[in-house]
Amino acid sequence: MIEGISHITFVVRDLERSARFFVDALDAQEVYASGDKQFSLSKERFLLLGGAWIALMEGDAEGDAEGDATKRRGYDHVAFKVPEADFDVYVGRIERWGVEMRAQRPRVQGEGRSFYFYDWDGHLFELHTGTLEERLSRYTP
């Protein structure tokens, strides 16, 4: 039986910058840095974010034929749960990092607030204030 999500891994070109972003903008806690050691495919950092294990691995993020990760963008994303009272604080922190924002999709009243942004490797993230229960309640007649 699957017990849940073990961890989420992101391949990033600049391991130091990406780790600082997660720590500074999203309040992640860094719990491991491989330094010059290599136990996996590359150097890596482990973070805890809201109880979730996030692994950042240094490497070339896959992209188009020329290696441009920004061209692989779709809507696949990871959404981080944020309390409504802290939403604007986190949006401000992210904006100060100068990362690209995604146009916000239309929202249905009652499904929570969202803010979408990309990191430098083309990963899409979302800050979200809603819960699954709130969304189901809103979508179900």
- The residue with tokens 């990406």 is 18
Annotated active-site residue in 44, 58, 66, 133: 44
- The tokens describing 77, both together, are 């994303």
Residue 40 contacts residue 57 (beta carbons within 8 Å): yes
Q: Is 100 noted as a catalytic residue in this protein?
A: no
Give CA–CA dist 11/117, Å, rounded.
Answer: 17
Give CA–CA dist 119/69, Å, rounded.
Answer: 10
Backbone angles phi, psi at 118, to 5 degrees: -105, 150
What lies within 8 Å, CB to CB, of 68 at 6+ separation is none
DSSP per-residue codes, 125-138:
EEEE---HHHHHHH
Which positions are catalytic?
44
